[in-house]
Amino acid sequence: MSDWVMVLSEGDRTAKKIHRCDECLRKISIGESYHHEFYVDGSYSGYHKTCQHCMAIRQYVLVHINDTFIYGQLIDEIGNGPMESWKDRLMYAGYRRQWKRKDGKMWKVIK
């Protein structure tokens, strides 16, 4: 693995089948929006799918914490920090619960 991946194409999609978020590892349900990226990393290419909840974390991290992140380790940017703000703690808690409430419903996307 090189230090940087090159994203060749990306966009938001609506799931026509069940996918898995490559950040929180939860199932992305049919009909749910997610972010899709096709990337190259050295001689390896692959797809990275991110649920809306984790995309909100990505936006937050890129604006407030770090100007970069590693695929699959996005939450570490928050979890390894001091978690001083309520938003840090809320995003970290939601991620750890894979965005599911105790009653089984999904959390709202944190903005």
> CB–CB of 55/37 below 8 Å?
no
Query: CB of 14: closest distance to Zn ion in angstroms?
Result: 16
Q: What is the dihedral of CA 82, 85, 88, 92, to 10 degrees?
A: 80
Within positions 2 to 21, which residues make up the interface with Zn ion, using CB under 5 A?
21
Within positions 32 to 51, which residues make up the interface with Zn ion, using CB under 5 A?
51
Of the candidates 24, 61, 75, 91, which one interacts with Zn ion according to CB under 5 A? 24
Tokens 């001689």 belong to 43
Q: Does 55 bind Zn ion (CB under 5 A)?
A: no
- β-strand pairing of 44-51 with 19-20: unpaired
Query: CB of 78: closest distance to Zn ion in angstroms?
Result: 13
Q: Does 54 bind Zn ion (CB under 5 A)?
A: yes
Total residues in contact with Zn ion, by rule CB under 5 A: 5
Extract long-range pairs of 24-32: CB within 8 Å, 24+ residues apart: 24/51, 24/53, 24/54, 24/75, 24/95, 24/98, 24/99, 25/98, 26/51, 26/98, 26/99, 26/100
Q: Does 56 bind Zn ion (CB under 5 A)?
A: no
Query: CB of 93: closest distance to Zn ion in angstroms?
Result: 14
Q: What are the residues binding Zn ion (CB under 5 A)? A: 21, 23-24, 51, 54
